[in-house]
Amino acid sequence: MEQAEEKQGGTNEEEGAAAAGGGGGGGGGGRELGQKSGVKRRREEEEDEEETSPTKKLVSDHGEKVASHYNTLQEVGLVVRSQSRIFYMRNFNNWLKSVLIGEILDRVRGAGSRNVSVLDLGCGKGGDLLKWRRGGISHIVCADIAEVSVDQCRTRYEEMKRKSHSNEKIFSAQFIASDCSKEVLSERLDDPELMFDICSCQFVYHYSFESEQKADMMLRNACERLKPGGFFIGTTPDAYELVKRLEASDSLSFGNEVFKVSFQSKGSYPLFGCQYHFSLEGVVNVPEFLVYFPLFEHMAKRYNMRLVLKQRFSEFFEEKVKKENHRSLMMKMMALEPFPCEDGGQQATDNKEQYCHAEEHCSRPGVRPPVGTLSKSEWDATSIYLVFVFQKMS
């Protein structure tokens, strides 16, 4: 599933958009913006795997399809991205990853780790590099099946290093193009002794649920080099939610104008290889597979991993947004859309029904518009996902 990554460079957090207040949730309500938001469609730290028209290649192996798909994604500029219908949703997903990564880094540091090493499994074009930079890590290994993405990730890293201040020590990095559901990653490490504090697998793990063998290899790569007490964190679609929506649909698909999920059948869902197609903003994507979470959790035990957190995006958001620092990051990253938009501005869509929840929220006593929200369709898309955190037992 295509998701936003962070864009490196040009980040200026001090230009925060507006202060957050109370209020309801993303698509289910509105988050108050404390001041009239004069923000242009500017992103603070973003992303991104923006997709244009991927050239389709006839390939039999799903891994090849995935690599081919991501290799042909075009990087588009800020202007194009900021005009995207899902601009805020992408920023929202990015915010969520930032919060997750930040909190895990705090835990790792709290446990006494100084030189933090990270494995970014399915790193894409390096959209999370800036988050790791902010987190002050020492070393990263970025791995992805799509060679072109890995090259872009490396270029992004080198740019970041080149542009950094002389007094800032940027983490060291290794980049590996690999099908992490087939190949043992540890054999490719420059430092064969390297152990990780964190493995981050953002919007990736579901590709491996094609077969038990692949899911297990991905898990092995995520966990076998974790230090005792280390974390395996990630984001992936919630199979329960996908199946619930499918069962509620009178066809084999569901979605809205921003996303569509299509299955081949319903009623029976194999544990592995339960394939569906996902499209975002009209671009047909590569096949993905349901991840039956209890099975995932069970498999992780083989690697001595204990589930610490599993939360739907909606729950994670509701909890984290209560904290001032997360709220202010949310504003800086433009993770919610101001509603109503300022005079002369435009909402992400002209369809007023998309903002009924925000309108209703604004009418509540004590609420001072503008509020921060996502259009209903964007919320429906992002609320498919869940966040997970596993920890390696000692």
Ligand X SMILES: C[S@@+](CC[C@H](N)C(=O)[O-])C[C@H]1O[C@@H](n2cnc3c(N)ncnc32)[C@H](O)[C@@H]1O
For residue 214, say whether it is annotated as part of any ligand binding site. Answer: no
Q: Using the minimum distance from each CB to ligand X, give the nearer residue, 178 or 373.
A: 178
Complex with ligand X: residue 88 or 207, whichever CB lies closer: 207
Show the tokens assigned to 181. 């559901």
Q: Cβ closer to ligand X: 180 or 198?
A: 180
To the question of whether residue 94 is assigned a binding role by annotation, the answer is yes
Residue listed under structure tokens 């005079």: 343
207 vs 317 by CB, closer to ligand X? 207
Report the residue number, 93 or 311, with the smaller CB distance to ligand X.
Answer: 93
- The answer to whether 383 touches 258, Cβ cutoff 8 Å, is no
Nearer to ligand X, 35 or 213 (CB): 213
φ, ψ of residue 292 to 5 degrees: the values are: -75, 110
Q: In angstroms, give the least distance from the CB of 383 to ligand X.
A: 17
120-157: b (≥16 Cβ within 10 Å) or e: bbbbbbbbbbbbbbbbebbbbbbbbbbebbbbbbbebb
Among 212, 208, 243, smallest CA distance to 222 is for 208
Q: Are 142 and 174 in contact (CB under 8 A)?
A: yes
The answer to whether 97 is annotated as binding is yes
CB 231 within 8 Å of CB 383: no
Residue nearest to ligand X (CB): 124
Query: For ligand X, which is the closer residue by CB, 3 or 113?
Result: 3
Instruction: Give yes or no for a contact between 198 and 118, defined as CB atoms under 8 angstroms apart.
Output: yes
The minimum distance between CB 84 and ligand X, in angstroms, equals: 15
Binding site for ligand X (CB under 6 A): 1-3, 5, 49, 63, 66, 70, 122-124, 127, 144-146, 149, 179-181, 202-204, 207-208
State in angstroms the smallest separation of the CB of 38 from ligand X: 29
Q: What sign has the CA pseudo-torsion 202, 208, 210, 211?
A: negative
Check whether 197 is labelled as a binding-site residue: no
Beta strand 196-202 pairing with 117-121:
parallel
The distance of closest approach from Cβ of residue 183 to ligand X in the complex, given in angstroms and rounded to an integer, is: 8
Tell me the HSE value of 336 on the side-chain side, using a 13 A CA sphere: 33
| Residue 179 assigned ligand-binding role | yes
Q: How far is the CB of 233 from ligand X (least distance, A)?
A: 11
In the complex, the smallest distance separating the C-beta of residue 365 from ligand X, rounded to whole angstroms, is: 40
Please report how close the Cβ of residue 15 comes to ligand X at its closest, in angstroms: 23
Q: How far is the CB of 124 from ligand X (least distance, A)?
A: 3
127 is an annotated ligand-binding site residue: no
**Minimal CA–CA distance to 286: which of 96, 22, 93, 72?**
72
The residue among 172, 189, 185 whose CA lies nearest residue 122 is: 185
Q: Which is nearer to ligand X, 33 or 118 (CB)?
A: 118
8 is in an annotated binding site: no
119 Cβ contact partners less than 8 Å away, ≥ 6 residues apart: 140, 141, 143, 185, 196, 198, 199, 200, 221, 222, 225
Give the whole-angstrom CA distance, residue 232 versus residue 307.
9
207 labelled binding-site residue: yes
* Residue ranges of the binding site: 93-94, 97, 122, 144, 179, 202, 207
* Residue ranges of the binding site for mRNA: 93-94
* Residue ranges of the binding site for S-adenosyl-L-methionine: 97, 122, 144, 179, 202, 207
